[in-house]
Amino acid sequence: MSKLPATVVRVFETPLGRIGVAATARGVVRVTLPNKVAGRGCRPSRASAGAAKAEAHAERAEREIREYCAGRRRRFTVTIDLSGVPPFHRKVLAAARRIPCGRTVTYGELARRAGSPRAARAAGQAMAHNPVPLIVPCHRVVASGGLGGFGGGLALKRLLLALEAQPQPLL
């Protein structure tokens, strides 16, 4: 019988609201946006060598998300683990991760960048099932005729795009 990986969950307050992060030793596996988060604090699932790595990934994700919310981070560098994501979705998520901060692309353009130019709807489904929003910036993907959807709601999508439109503060 295979062991389940140690998972660390962190829930923290940001200017956007309460955000949750789950990580294993392989990287961040889930980011939960405001209004979809329950609980608080940090909870390792079991003590193990993997738990320390999972805690490090979760801690780094929290730090980077806080920096992003403060306007001090434009790109996430924390390790993510998309091993549980279907292959086509992984390609689309990789393409979305390369969208520069402050820019948007359409679902059709994202599909093209992922190597499947006729798969705009499938790219939209990949964005709808993005397990790590913010880190993989699905909010930067828009419909050809408007904003399109967003798991955190359109008000949050507008807020994130407005945040990214601001010049980055000098450190």
47-74: pLDDT as tens digits: 566 789 999 999 999 999 999 999 999 9
- Domain boundaries of the chain, sorted by first residue: 8-69, 87-165
Is 69 marked active-site?
Answer: no
On whether the pTM is more than 0.85, the answer is: yes
Q: Which CATH architecture is the domain 87-165 placed in?
A: Orthogonal Bundle (1.10)
Give the pLDDT score at 4: 59
Name the catalytic one among 42, 69, 101, 138.
Answer: 138
On average, the pLDDT of the chain sits at 89
Residues 6+ apart with CB under 8 A from 160: 16, 134, 137, 139, 152
Look up residue 162 and give its two tokens.
């407005």
Pick from 41-55, 107-121, 135-149: least confident: 41-55
Give the pLDDT score at 48: 63
